[in-house]
Amino acid sequence: MTAETTPDRTGADDTGADPRTDSPGDAPVLRARGLRKVHGRGDASVTALAGVDLDIAPGSFTAIMGPSGSGKSTLLHLLAGLDSVTSGTVHLGDTALTSLGDTALTLLRRERMGFVFQSFNLLPMYTARQNILLPLELAGRDANEEWLVQLVDVLGLGDRLTHRPAELSGGQQQRVAIARALVTRPDVVLADEPTGNLDLRTGSEVLALLRTSVRELGRTVVMVTHDPGAAAHADRVVLIADGLVRGDIDHPTPSSVLAGLDALRPENEVA
């Protein structure tokens, strides 16, 4: 893996041009080195991550998979700056997340990261439009209407913007959550089991939308999932076991992901 960095970048300019649209051949948008996370102390300590190196290319869709307790959710939280590391570094472009204070980290997440969770986390008293624009409201920024119209069109929300969450289906609520994650044009979108509360058909639609956000909107997506079918929507699957990266699958299919997961099982473990 390369240790190159990419210039620190802010948002789009007033004309709607986005200076952060890169190609997958550029320097990593996210970079982790020697990432360790230990919970507890002494004999009661548990190592969640044991030294992870990982690069995330801009304009890519990466899925992180592994057995229960493998450290995949911990890795996502550390990449997002939602939890503190025991040792190691995480860089978003040139910015070292692991050296930022709480206030600076909060501002960085608000400006340069988007989040999609299993629970939609929409404000029930807000309309879909208001929920989408919430990150900009918190940052004291005006919406770029051209970008908002593009998001709404791509995500199929044009006739739902005045509806409140209780008036939307689960899939529609997750579409709103995706639009909210993308509205600031973040460097990276981090998704934690985004289809976990959805039926198979709706989940497939949401995954297709995440895929579309990469291909058509130029975003970078990192997703934790336990579902090989969901992971097959990604460009790449990173396999985690025992707190370490144990495999890397390019152009995944459900069968190749299953084979990769099977290879992580101890020889004496029966499926």
Q: Is residue 25 part of a domain?
A: no
Query: How high is the pLDDT of residue 3?
Result: 36
What one-character-per-residue DSSP string does the chain give?
-------------TTS--TT---TTSS-SEEEEEEEEEES-GGG-EEEEEEEEEEE-TT-EEEEE-STTSSHHHHHHHHTTSS--SEEEEEETTEEGGG--HHHHHHHHHHHEEEEESS----TTS-HHHHHHHHHHHHT----HHHHHHHHHHHT-TTTTT--GGGS-HHHHHHHHHHHHHTT--SEEEEESTTTTS-HHHHHHHHHHHHHHHHTT---EEEE-S-HHHHTTSSEEEEEETTEEEEEEES--HHHHHHHHHHTS-TT---
Query: How high is the pLDDT of residue 6?
Result: 34
Query: How high is the pLDDT of residue 267?
Result: 57
Query: How high is the pLDDT of residue 52?
Result: 94
How many other C-beta atoms are found inside a 10 Å radius of the C-beta of residue 179?
Answer: 25
Two structure tokens written together for 31: 């970079």
Query: How high is the pLDDT of residue 237?
Result: 96
Query: How high is the pLDDT of residue 58?
Result: 93
Over its length of 271 residues, how does the chain's per-residue pLDDT go in tens digits?
333 333 333 334 433 434 333 444 478 999 999 999 998 887 788 889 999 999 999 999 999 999 888 899 999 999 999 999 999 999 999 999 999 999 999 989 988 999 998 888 899 999 999 999 999 998 888 888 899 998 898 888 989 999 999 999 988 999 999 999 999 999 999 999 988 888 888 888 889 889 988 988 889 999 999 999 999 999 999 999 999 999 999 999 999 999 999 888 765 454 4
Q: Is residue 33 part of a domain?
A: no
Query: How high is the pLDDT of residue 111?
Result: 87
Q: Is residue 245 part of a domain?
A: yes
Task: State CA 70 to chain mean position distance.
Answer: 18
pLDDT tens sequence across 47-84: 899 999 999 999 999 999 998 888 999 999 999 999 99
The residue behind tokens 């004496």 is 268
Query: How high is the pLDDT of residue 8?
Result: 38
CA distance readout (Å), 148 to 18, 152, 157, 161: 13, 6, 11, 11
Query: How high is the pLDDT of residue 271?
Result: 45
Q: State the CATH number of the domain containing residue 150.
A: 3.40.50.300
pLDDT tens sequence across 44-56: 888 899 999 999 9
Boundaries of domain holding 161? 59-70+102-263
C-alpha to C-alpha distance for 37 and 252, rounded to whole angstroms: 28
Task: State CA 71 to chain mean position distance.
Answer: 15
Query: How high is the pLDDT of residue 40?
Result: 83
Query: How high is the pLDDT of residue 252?
Result: 94
The secondary structure of 99-132, three-state, reads HCCHHHHHHHHHHHEEEEECCCCCCCCCCHHHHH
C-alpha to C-alpha distance for 240 and 245, rounded to whole angstroms: 5
Q: Is residue 234 part of a domain?
A: yes
Q: Is residue 130 part of a domain?
A: yes
Q: Is residue 84 part of a domain?
A: no
pTM of the model: 0.83
C-alpha to C-alpha distance for 65 and 239, rounded to whole angstroms: 5
Q: Is residue 47 part of a domain?
A: no
C-alpha to C-alpha distance for 94 and 43, rounded to whole angstroms: 37
Q: What total of structural domains would you count in the chain?
A: 1
Q: Is residue 215 part of a domain?
A: yes
